Structure formats: structure tokens, C-alpha cells
């Protein structure tokens, strides 16, 4: 294993009724909060009223940023920064899924910065940020315990990440019951996203990270067991709780510590697709990932795909090459069983922008660690996906 520093300062409050801990978590940072949320499910489910009552009972002032869209827009980030500055906010609180949380992280980075927060998607490093906390409502991104924020810029149809340890949430409240109301499509997409985060870190050439690979397989099996249960029975607490903790563990840094790298090319390609077509992130990954697997399953990586087939899908018959191929097929079948699309045309995305998406994916040079991909490689993966 490689050397590492694992430093995640996020306090995780996991379980039923944990939203009741919100005020005491917030008060460690102050009493003026930006309350950010999305399109309104938090009002329908009563979560909003619960939080507002708590704030009123605990002397917490709040300023609202509603309407944050999936694939959160830079304009919402700017609006949030303005609200924080005008109201001298102490903490940015996200109530929602990864999009709301990512928007809040970007706001937190933008408040103490004089330039445009979009600069942080390039070389500029975040040097200071407001504290961020969240009440997470969807199992998917792992944003609840990492320092990433993925933001879309409307005018240029770009979708890029800001990354900084300063953006790791100070606390994350994870009550699986809050995810009961997530619909079938988002539940399936979230499950695919969790699995994809594992794939990016597991399907790599490193051989010495036995422990990390077994942890990765455990998370994949958890998604395979409980994803379909949650899609069919949204109120199943066992399924929702396992998926929620899987989402956190899949992308809080744990699975890469001790490895040289993750691959992440499928994520970069997907971000170009959803930047242009505003597709649900997990649905884009469901289309692309099995095709990336086919594309990089070459002789020197086949042992890894075969290991995945044996340990995750219990495929034991045949050569490594046979098992690897079947494992990739199982992955596609599983995504289809969850109700996810298999091609870009399934979600009405035409093939006319494949070249553009491929060039944008590699605009900073070739991508990928498992296999280095150039523009032509990405184009081929997108062609396989159309």
C-alpha cells in the first residue's frame, strides 16, 4: 500500500430522528444560517417545517436559498454568496441531495473570495471557506463527507468540480428515513452513482490493496442487494440505511487511501454529457460505465475484471477472460433491472455532439489511470453508448 493521510473532519449523525441534532450542531458555528434547498420536496414531506420550528425554538436566524436545481447552476451559487454577504451568515446549511450540498460548498468557498468562485474550478485554490453542514436526503454522491463540489455554468454548458479539504462538511445528518420519499428513478440513479464511485477506485491496476478491494466489494454487494429493494419498497429502512452509509463510504476517500490513484475517466465523460443535456448523473453513468469497462478490459486488466466477477457476481466458471466479460454483462443487466437507461438514445440524446463531448473531456490532457484515454478513445466509448 502507498502512504496516506486520511483526514475527514465531518461529524456524521446517522439514524432515525437525527435531524433533532441540527440546532446543536449549528450552534457550534454561530446563529445565522443560509438555509439552502431544491425544488420543494422538503416542503411536501414536512422536513422544512421541522427545521424551521427548530430554528425558531433555538434562536437561529435563517435566510433562504430555494430552487437549487439538480446539476446545480453557478447562478444559484452567486445568489447564495450574495445572501451570505448581505446577512453576515455563519454557516451554510444544505437540506437535500448532492446538488444542494455541492451548491452550498461552492457558496462557502465564494463568500470570503473577492474574485469569481468559478476560478476554483481551475488552478486557483480555496484558501478560506464558511463552514458547511447538511441534512442529506438522497443516497448517491458521497458529497456528505468529501470536499468536492460539482457546478454547472449555464452560459458555456460546462460542468466542473471545485475540490478542497476546506469544503468537507463540518457535520452531516444522515437519517435514512428522509430518503423514503426519493422516487424510483433517483433511487436507481443514486445506486448506480455509489457503485460507480467504487468502480472508479476499485477497477485500477494496483495489486497490493487487498483490504481496500474487499471493502469495495462489500459496498458493491450492498448496492446489488439493497438497490432493487429500495426501488420496489421505498420505505424499507434496512435497504435505505445500508444504501445511505454505502454512499458515504464510497466517496469519503477511504477506498483510495493506500492506492496510487483512482481512474475517474467515466465521471469526467459523464459530466460532459450532463453539462450539455442536463441528464441525471447516475443515469449517465449507467449508460457509460459498462462501455468503459468493455473498452479498458484488455489483457493487463482482465485479472481485475475477473476478480470483480468472482467476488461480486459469484461467477466462477471459465477463464479470466470469460469471467471478466460476464461480469461486465451482469453490470449492464443489473443497471437495466434497476430501470436505468443503456444508451444515450434511451434518454433522447442524439449523437451529434459526441465529438464535442469527447474534446471537452480531454481539454486538460488525457484522462484515466486504469487506461489513459485520449480524445479518440473517449469518442469510441461515446459511440459505443449511442
Residues that bind ligand NZQ (CB under 6 A): 38-41, 70-71, 96-100, 102, 137-138, 140-143, 146, 148-150, 178-179, 181-182, 186, 190, 193, 251, 267, 281
C-alpha to C-alpha distance for 29 and 26, rounded to whole angstroms:
6
Which among Zn ion, ligand NZQ, none contacts residue 19 (Cβ within 5 to 8 A by kind)? Answer: none
Q: Which one, 138 or 354, has the nearer CB to ligand NZQ?
A: 138
Minimal distance, residue 19 CB to ligand NZQ, in Å = 12
| SS3 (DSSP) at 62 | strand
Contacts of 360 (CB under 8 A, 6+ apart): 158, 272, 275
Minimal distance, residue 66 CB to ligand NZQ, in Å = 9
Number of alpha helices (DSSP H) and beta strands (DSSP E) in the chain: 14, 8
C-alpha to C-alpha distance for 269 and 272, rounded to whole angstroms:
5
Q: Which one, 10 or 280, has the nearer CB to Zn ion?
A: 280
Give residue number: closest CB to Zn ion.
193
Which among ligand NZQ, Zn ion, none contacts residue 172 (Cβ within 5 to 8 A by kind)? Answer: none
Minimal distance, residue 62 CB to ligand NZQ, in Å = 17
Give residue number: closest CB to ligand NZQ.
38
Which among ligand NZQ, Zn ion, none contacts residue 36 (Cβ within 5 to 8 A by kind)? Answer: none
Q: DSSP labels for 233-266?
A: -TT-HHHHHHHHHHHHHHTSSTTTTTSS----HH
Minimal distance, residue 161 CB to Zn ion, in Å = 10
Report phi then psi at 135, rounded to 5: -110, 105
Q: Which one, 97 or 341, has the nearer CB to ligand NZQ?
A: 97
Q: Which one, 22 or 188, has the nearer CB to Zn ion?
A: 188
C-alpha to C-alpha distance for 163 and 253, rounded to whole angstroms:
13
C-alpha to C-alpha distance for 368 and 298, rounded to whole angstroms:
15
Q: Which one, 48 or 264, has the nearer CB to Zn ion?
A: 264
Minimal distance, residue 85 CB to Zn ion, in Å = 31
From residue 63, alpha-carbon distances to 34, 92, 101 in Å are 5, 10, 16
Which among Zn ion, ligand NZQ, none contacts residue 181 (Cβ within 5 to 8 A by kind)? Answer: ligand NZQ
Minimal distance, residue 267 CB to Zn ion, in Å = 6
Q: For 57, what's the count of Cα atoms within 13 Å in the CB-facing half-sphere? A: 10
Minimal distance, residue 300 CB to ligand NZQ, in Å = 27
Which among ligand NZQ, Zn ion, none contacts residue 175 (Cβ within 5 to 8 A by kind)? Answer: none
Contacts of 299 (CB under 8 A, 6+ apart): none
Residue at grid coordinates 420519499:
181
Q: Which one, 63 or 180, has the nearer CB to ligand NZQ?
A: 180
Cα angle 154-156-158, degrees, rounded to a multiple of 5: 80
From residue 36, alpha-carbon distances to 39, 67, 287 in Å are 10, 8, 31
Q: Which residue ranges make up the site for Zn ion (CB under 5 A)?
A: 193
Length of the chain in terms of residues written: 386
Q: Which one, 193 or 325, has the nearer CB to ligand NZQ?
A: 193
Q: Which one, 285 or 315, has the nearer CB to Zn ion?
A: 285
Minimal distance, residue 382 CB to ligand NZQ, in Å = 18
Amino acid at each position: 500500500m502507498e502512504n496516506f493521510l486520511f483526514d475527514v473532519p465531518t461529524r456524521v449523525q446517522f439514524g432515525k430522528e437525527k435531524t433533532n441534532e441540527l440546532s446543536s450542531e449549528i450552534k457550534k458555528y454561530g446563529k445565522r444560517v443560509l438555509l439552502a434547498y431544491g425544488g420543494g420536496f422538503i416542503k411536501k414531506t414536512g422536513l422544512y417545517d421541522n427545521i424551521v420550528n427548530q430554528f425558531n425554538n433555538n434562536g437561529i436566524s435563517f435566510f433562504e436559498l430555494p430552487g437549487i436545481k439538480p446539476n446545480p447552476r453557478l447562478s444559484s451559487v452567486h445568489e447564495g454568496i450574495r445572501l451570505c454577504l448581505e446577512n453576515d451568515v455563519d454557516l451554510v446549511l444544505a437540506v437535500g441531495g448532492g446538488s444542494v450540498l455541492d451548491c452550498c460548498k461552492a457558496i462557502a468557498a465564494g463568500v470570503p473570495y473577492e474574485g469569481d468562485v468559478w476560478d476554483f474550478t481551475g488552478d486557483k485554490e480555496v484558501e478560506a471557506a464558511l463552514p458547511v453542514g447538511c441534512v442529506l436526503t438522497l443516497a448517491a454522491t458521497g458529497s456528505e463527507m468529501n470536499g468536492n463540489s460539482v457546478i454547472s455554468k449555464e452560459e458555456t454548458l460546462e460542468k466542473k468540480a471545485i475540490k478542497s479539504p476546506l469544503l468537507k462538511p463540518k457535520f452531516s445528518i444522515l437519517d435514512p428515513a428522509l430518503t423514503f420519499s426519493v422516487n424510483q428513478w433517483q433511487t436507481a440513479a443514486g445506486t448506480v452513482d455509489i457503485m460507480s464511485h467504487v468502480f472508479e477506485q476499485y477497477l485500477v491496476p494496483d495489486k497490493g490493496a487487498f483490504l481496500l478491494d474487499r471493502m469495495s466489494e462489500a459496498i458493491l454487494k450492498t448496492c446489488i442487494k439493497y438497490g432493487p429493494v429500495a426501488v420496489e419498497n421505498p420505505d424499507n429502512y434496512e435497504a435505505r440505511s445500508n444504501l445511505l452509509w454505502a454512499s458515504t463510504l464510497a466517496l469519503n476517500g477511504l477506498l483510495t487511501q493506500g492506492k496510487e490513484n483512482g481512474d475517474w475517466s467515466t465521471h469526467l465523460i459523464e459530466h460532459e454529457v450532463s453539462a450539455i443535456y442536463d441528464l441525471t448523473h447516475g443515469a449517465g453513468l449507467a449508460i457509460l460505465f459498462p462501455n468503459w469497462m468493455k473498452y479498458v478490459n484488455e489483457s493487463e486488466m482482465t485479472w481485475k475484471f475477473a476478480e470483480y466477477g468472482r467476488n461480486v457476481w459469484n461467477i466462477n466458471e471459465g477463464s479470466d477472460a470469460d469471467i471478466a466479460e460476464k461480469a461486465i454483462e451482469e453490470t449492464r443487466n443489473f443497471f437495466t433491472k434497476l430501470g436505468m437507461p443503456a444508451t444515450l438514445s434511451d434518454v433522447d440524446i442524439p449523437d451529434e455532439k459526441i465529438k464535442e463531448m469527447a474534446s471537452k473531456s480531454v481539454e486538460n490532457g488525457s484522462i484515466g489511470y486504469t487506461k489513459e484515454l485520449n480524445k479518440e478513445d473517449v469518442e469510441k466509448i461515446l459511440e459505443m453508448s449511442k
